[in-house]
């Protein structure tokens, strides 16, 4: 089925995760995405674990639904400019200034393609005193304050277990580019979209920042507790751990009955959510005394039918096997890849009635579509393509 972005052509110069993840979503939605890599070397993530048959499944996941070409930007500058004329969107996540040093920054590229949407993503963005600093996922979590509020109060700050700064940055880039494409439809004007990984993490932590902005109180690590509601967060069970939210008046009223303490409903310490948050050190042990009498599954079986938001903490293998996430929502579809064989990858979270995202083809081998792209899009002859290869341009 044709995707909703069919007819849009994207040149993906991204490396590793943030840029490639954004471009992959465009490919999933039907855009023609051309991944450009350095001849002979390719994206650094081609060497990233996990490996299967000597091939990186990390690379495979974030470069699905794309065609792949190689081009040396120094030797093949004119070819690159010809290619830019033929695309709607360019995505890159080099350190700011890299493309300018090559004479290929946005100000130069818009001269050959005024309608170009130029999407760039970096650690701190292309403006400000930190713009030239190296910035990766962990740095974005540290500089944004996210790590300062993650973990247990008595322990060191903790990085989120996944590279969520990169992925959130990629999603913000996709949103910006889609908005710019709509703007171009109305005005004919292209523009540059500038996304910072650190800014994206700040947005992800907006609810915590608002605590400081509104009250002047600096939030700190709070474990698995909710900052603004109680009871809520993680509780030990007979065989493990679960998370529960019982803060809304309706559910607080039911919870006190379930745990065998109906008198708490009129306890002056716990009469309102604000009071329960204030006195959570006294409240949480009462709730946990009940959860410790039951297994995790028993807690879920008791609370879920009554409408509570509650969950076990699943390990990744359990998520893949889960009837909702891996099953009904198809978040781990199998792709028959010519290099690694049938392999499951992480799907897009967006579900649409028509033309929605799907993995449309496996990630390309290095330079797999050189002849197709240079011949069909730029009109190069087989002889010229062979000469470019001989000269190390591709």
Catalytic residue list: 166
Neighbours of 365 (CB within 10 A): 13
Give CA–CA dist 69/365, Å, rounded: 9
Burial (CB count within 10 angstroms: exposed 0-12, middle 13-18, buried 19+), residue 148: middle
| Rounded Cα distance, 195 and 174, in Å | 10
Helix (H) or strand (E) holding 341: strand 341-344
Name the DSSP class of 192: E
Token duo for residue 123? 């650690």
Following DSSP, what letter does each residue of 41-93 receive, concatenated? T--GGGGPSSEETTEEHHHHHHTTT-EEEE--TTTTHHHHHHHHHT-SEEEE-
DSSP assignment of 295-320 equals -HHHHHHHHGGGT-EEEE---HHHHH
Cβ neighbours, 10 Å, residue 99: 21
């Amino acid at each position: 089925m044709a995707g909703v972005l069919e007819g849009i052509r994207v040149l993906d110069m991204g490396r590793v995760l943030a840029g490639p993840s954004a471009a992959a979503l465009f490919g999933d939605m039907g855009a023609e995405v051309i991944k450009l890599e350095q001849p002979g070397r390719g994206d650094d993530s081609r060497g990233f674990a996990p490996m299967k048959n000597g091939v990186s499944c990390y690379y495979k996941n974030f470069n699905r639904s794309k065609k792949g070409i190689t081009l040396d930007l120094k030797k093949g500058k004119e070819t690159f400019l010809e290619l830019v004329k033929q695309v709607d969107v360019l995505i890159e996540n080099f350190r700011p200034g890299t493309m300018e040093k090559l004479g290929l920054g946005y100000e130069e590229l818009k001269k050959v393609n005024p309608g170009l949407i130029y999407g760039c993503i970096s650690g701190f963005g292309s403006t400000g005193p930190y713009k030239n600093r190296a910035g990766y996922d962990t740095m974005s979590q540290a500089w944004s304050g996210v790590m300062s509020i993650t973990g247990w109060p008595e322990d060191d700050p903790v990085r989120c277990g996944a590279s969520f700064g990169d992925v959130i940055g990629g999603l913000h880039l996709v949103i910006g580019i889609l908005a710019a494409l709509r703007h171009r439809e109305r005005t004919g004007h292209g523009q540059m979209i500038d996304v910072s990984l650190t800014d994206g993490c700040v947005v992800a932590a907006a609810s915590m920042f608002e605590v400081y902005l509104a009250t002047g109180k600096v939030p700190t690590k709070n474990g698995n507790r909710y900052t603004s509601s109680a009871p809520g967060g993680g509780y030990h069970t007979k065989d493990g751990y679960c998370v529960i939210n019982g803060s809304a008046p309706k559910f607080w009223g039911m919870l006190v009955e379930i745990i065998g303490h109906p008198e708490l409903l009129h306890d002056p310490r716990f009469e309102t959510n604000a009071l329960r948050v204030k006195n959570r050190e006294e409240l949480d042990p009462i709730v946990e005394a009940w959860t410790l009498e039951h297994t995790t599954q028993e807690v879920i079986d008791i609370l879920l039918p009554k409408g509570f938001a509650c969950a076990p903490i699943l390990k990744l293998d359990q998520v893949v096997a889960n009837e909702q996430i891996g099953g009904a929502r198809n978040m781990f579809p199998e792709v028959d890849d010519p290099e690694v064989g049938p392999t499951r990858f992480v799907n897009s979270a967006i579900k649409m009635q028509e033309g929605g995202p799907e993995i449309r083809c496996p990630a390309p081998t290095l330079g797999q579509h050189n002849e197709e792209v240079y011949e069909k899009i730029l009109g190069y002859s087989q002889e010229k393509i062979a000469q470019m290869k001989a000269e190390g341009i591709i």
